[in-house]
Structure formats: C-alpha cells, structure tokens
Structure 1
C-alpha cells in the first residue's frame, strides 16, 4: 500500500501524467479543522504515512493548519516538507515522489527514505521563468542594471531560481542540467515560444510537457507576464537509482531509515557517521 503524497493546492498536481494520484489538502478557508482532522486520520489509516509538500512561501494560515493537524493527531507519521522552489517546481517534485513510491515501478522506498528523497531531489530540479519585467522580483538576486533594463519594451529575461539563482538575457539561456530531463512549461500572459524553441534544445530536454500556470506563480515571480518552466527527471528507474546511491542512516528516535542528517518525519537529528559522498550525477547512474 503506497504511502500518500499530498500538496496544498490543486494546481500543484501535474495533469494528464497517468501516474498515481497526488492528494490535495484543502485550505483553512475551504475546510474546518474538524474535517481536516477526520480526513487526515482516514488517510493515515489507509496509507500509513503522509508526506505533505508545500512551498516555503505558502501563506501563514495554511502552514499553521498543517502544523495544528499534526500536533492534534500527535502523529510522527506525517512529514511536513517545506520546499524552496517556485510553484511549478513544487508540482514537478510531487510528481517525482509519486513515481518513486509507485509499486508499479519497483520496490517502494520506506517512508523515511521517501520523505528524505524530497529534500534530495530538490537539488536536481532546474526551475525558473522567462519574465517580461524584473522590477518587483525579490526572490532571486537581480542587479540594478538588469532591473533598469527590464523596463525597456520587449526586453525578456531568463531567470533561474534553482539550483543556482541566475539572471540572463533570453538570448543566452542559463546553464541547465547535465542529465536527461523533461521540461515542464506553464504560460502566463507572456506570449513566447522561447522554452520550446530555445531552452529545450539548449538543455537537451527529452520532452516538453505543457501545463496550466499555478495560481501562486504570479505572486512568486511578481508579474503576470511570464512563462514558468521546470526541468526534472521523469524516468522512475533513474529516480530509484539516484535515491539508492545515497548512504542511509537509522533515525535514533523512530528507527526509520533516512537520507541525510535529519529525519523528516519525527524531525530528530541523526548523529553523523561515516561522511557520505555527494550524490552522483544521474548521468553516471545508467549505462
């Protein structure tokens, strides 16, 4: 029985991917605390564990609701995982975890490994946007010169948010992944085929998936004139190899196997053992 992967907005679920369903938790404005507790209890009873992904930039009432539900249920089987990613990239990571925990793609990782994998895979998502204005952007460092030039009509900028923030003119695509990815594209009010025509070839994307723009993207990028993109590994076999390549530890509090120095479920620190090597490039994981 696969553990449950949940997000906090319907537009954080990639449509038409044919993968296991990602659950959507309702906001405090849509659901009472009593109903949220009942729904979460039923999810835990059916799945055993619940991994909740949400953006670090999520609204405060939503974050308070998540922590309240976990505290009232007194459950260390709920992992609350804030992600330093733009909205579209959160949807992409939820899709990856759904693939990773799908029994159809091989043995399921344990709940501690799956929760830790969310932190690991964040480093392999290349996310950004093509913007028509940088004037109000504050989530990616932007130089004064770029700010001023972005006021010129027709100027477009390619902004990379993760894994290394960078701002470049659209005619010079930012450096991308050195491993096979699928490019996911969501359009706002900027009419441009730049992701398909320029970025996908430059990043050697294996495919391009068009999806609706998440509602939170306009607020995150501080402009409706954008095309958001995220490149990530969509091959379930490579995802399994990548997670399996990282040294595992045993959480001293709950006993689950985890990756890294902290258990995401019970939030206990994991004492350092033998230094773990850096995660390898996915290019070296497949023949």
Structure 2
C-alpha cells in the first residue's frame, strides 16, 4: 500500500478530462512539456518533477508518440539528472482523445491498491480496450493510419467524409454518399466521448454510438493536438472505453504479476515501465504468482 496515489502526469492540459467523481484525482500537467525550453529551464523542470515525487512517491508520465522529439528528450533528461527510478515515461500511439481517456483510467486506478509498477505497465494493457478514431473530411495527408490510393482520390471529392479507427486495429471506411459505413466496435460496454472540430457530429452520435451500443455519449473538448494528429481540422474525434472502475480493476487484477529483475518493482506484461528492463525468459524467472481470473480473454499481445 502507498500513502499517496501515484501521480499521473500528462504533456498538455487538453489531456486532462474532468474527474467522474470526487475520489478520482486530477492529472499533473507537466509545464516542462507545455512550455518551450527557452522559457522553462531544465532547473524548473527538475524542480517540477522532484516536487511530484516528493508528494506522490512515483510519477507516471504519459507522452504521446506524436509529440515532438524534444518533449520526450526533456522527460528522459529530467529522469536521468534526478537519477530516479520513480519516474516512468510511457509513450503511447493513441490519438489525443484516446490518450486523455487512458490518462483518466489510470487516474481512477491510482486510488486502488495497485503498486506503481503494475499501474504503469497497465497503460499498455488498457490501450487495447480503447476504440479511438475520428470522422474526417479529408485523408489526403493522414499518415498515422494506412490509407489506400483509392481513398486518397476520393478525398478530393467535395463532401466526402471518412470514418477512421486508429486503435485497437486500424480501419478506414467512406461515410458520404449514403453508404452504410461500419467500423468494428467493442464487444463490451463502453462510454463514448466525442470532440467536435470543423465537422458536425451527427454521424458519430447518431450512427456510430448506437451501432457500438455505447451506454453513454458525452461531448469533450477537442485536444489542441488533434488537428495535427489527424492531419486536418475537419474532424470529429471519438473514443469509446470502459468507464466502470470495478471492471478496470478486475481487468488489471486478472493478469499475472512479476517482479522486475532489475529495479524490483512489480509489473504486468513483458517489460518494466519504470526501468524499461525486459522480463527474462520463462526458464529464468522465479516461480510466478498467478492472480484470480474473472475477465474475458485478453487480446493477443496485451500482456
């Protein structure tokens, strides 16, 4: 047990969704990632991170893979200078709204009895259960999801729209022209968040959400990074995920835990999120602790 919840830190204020209840803590917005190194010195960044460690013991910093290289470099520099094994820099391929949902889920789980190592490595597991995508007015410059030459050509036709799923498995379908567009959805209960750019959200709220049997549909603020991530401002971003903390808890609890052979922290999966040490081959591991099952089978590659 840890006296204070592990801090969940993000690289921008748009990645902080409102707390669903009074128990869920907010996320720490890292000013070292928001502000330019010219205006926010390394000393300030060190003080910022040191303060978080002092108050929370451990820090899990979520950093989108799409962030400028300087952001990740600054985070790793801070970790190196502090010589701290209490900072986990977790990179994620999720689009901006999906990453905000992941941050919220980790915030919810931070008040449970998970150790920092399990909580940090749970980010990878939970990402497999977040269906994140967008309705786009153009895919001509989209490079984060596979786009065919035919879709590129159709994108030049006025009024054409595309529904794109980025995770857990990329998918792209044409929506305009009365087509019955279909995106593969989750096979479990979710809450859908959507954020509107320069397109109307009607297809997302009126067609996609019912098709995915979303239990709740809520509008959110469009992250500032979304237009760059999706390569267009003509979009409606969406993300559907498990909202129930008890289900999230059961999901993470059902996975086998190991002790990192390098730093000693608990982990789930094949790599420690804090020191990045890989899990040794089965023949070199000590006897494993297996927790109770009670969740549907995990997707391939999730553990």
The reply to whether TM is greater than 0.5 is yes
1:173 is aligned to: 182
Q: In the alignment, which residue of structure 2 is the partner of 1:125?
A: 130
Using the alignment, how far apart are the partners of 1:191 and 1:270 within structure 2?
46
Q: Against the structure 1 CA distance between its residues 64 and 260, is the aligned structure 2 distance closer, same or farther, given a 3 Å change threshold?
A: same
Aligned to 1:9: 12
Task: State the match for 1:205 in structure 2.
Answer: 214
1:272 to partner: Cα distance: 3.0
Shift of 1:281: 4.7
Query: Could you tell me how far apart the structure 2 residues matched to 1:280 and 1:57 are?
Result: 31
Asked if structure 1 preserves the Cα contact closer than 8 Å seen for 2:19 and 2:104, the reply is no
In the alignment, the residues of structure 1 paired with residue 138 and residue 90 of structure 2 have an alpha-carbon distance, to the nearest angstrom, of 31
Instruction: Tell me by how many angstroms 1:161 deviates.
Output: 0.4
Q: Identify the match of residue 263 of structure 2 among 237, 250, 254.
A: 254
Q: 2: CA distance between counterparts of 1:281 and 1:32? A: 46
Distance 2:201 2:82 in 1: 48
Stretch of structure 1 that moved more, 150-159 or 77-86? 150-159
| Cα distance in 1 for residues equivalent to 2:108 and 2:282 | 30
CA RMSD of superposed structures (Å): 1.8
The alpha-carbon distance between structure 1 residues 130 and 258, as it changes in their structure 2 partners (threshold 3 A), is same
Instruction: Quote the residue 2:296 is aligned against.
Output: 280
Give unpaired runs (5+ residues) of structure 2. 299-303
TM-score (norm: length of structure 1): 0.92
How many Å separate the matches in 1 of 2:6 and 2:261?
Answer: 22
Instruction: With the length of structure 2 as denominator, give the TM-score of the two structures.
Output: 0.88
Q: Deviations over 1:36-89 (max 9, x none)?
A: 111111110110000000110101221111011000000110000000111111
Alpha-carbon distance between aligned partners in 2 of 1:41 and 1:220, rounded to the nearest angstrom:
31
* Distance (Å, rounded) in 1 between the aligned partners of 2:20 and 2:282: 39
Q: 1:141 aligned to 135, 140, 146, which one?
A: 146
Alignment partner of 1:153 is 2:158: yes
In structure 1, distance between residues paired with 2:19 and 2:51: 26
Instruction: Give the secondary-structure state (helix, strand or coil) at the position aligned to 2:220.
Output: strand
What does 1:22-41 align with in structure 2 at a 5 Å threshold?
22-26=27-31, 27=33, 28-29=35-36, 30-41=39-50
**2:54 counterpart of 1:48:** no
| Aligned residue pair count | 277
Give 1:173 deviation, angstroms: 2.4
After TM superposition, which residue ranges in structure 1, 4 or more long, deviate above 4 angstroms? 274-277
Structure 1 residue 261 displacement after superposition: 1.2
Gaps of 5+ in 1: 283-287
- Is residue 2–residue 108 contact of structure 1 (8 Å, CA) maintained in 2? no
Q: CA deviation at 1:15?
A: 3.0
SS across alignment from 2:66: coil
1:229 to 232, 238, 242: 238
Other-structure match for 2:194: 185
Any idea what the Cα deviations from partners look like across 1:79-126, whole Å, max 9, x if unmatched?
000001111111010000001112xxxx42001100010011111110
